[in-house]
Amino acid sequence: TEQPLTARARNFANKIHGRFGVQIILHDERLSTVEARAGLFEHGGFRALNKGSVDSASAVIILESYFEQGF
């Protein structure tokens, strides 16, 4: 089932597309956080697991996934 925040993000993406006509590519980011936390922990233990680091690493994972898909 789609979560409320997911529905809001999809609605926002639709509005951006409708207003500006740009292509919007949605990405399920749930597992990116898990992957980011695992990678950070592997390199720095619990000290590396602060919110900023996890968010940054997750963003890198999402962007890499985007580029790997050939967009």
Q: What is the pLDDT of residues 20-70, one digit of tens each?
A: 999 999 988 888 989 998 988 888 777 777 888 988 999 999 999 999 988
pLDDT at site 40: 86
Structure tokens at 69: 């898909």
- Give the domain extent around 36: 4-68
Q: How many domains does the chain have?
A: 1
31-32-37 Cα angle (round to 5):
100
pLDDT at site 17: 98
Judge if pTM exceeds 0.75. no
Q: Which of 58, 67, 57 is nearest to 25 (CA)?
A: 67
In angstroms, the CA 45 to CA 63 distance is: 24
pLDDT at site 10: 95
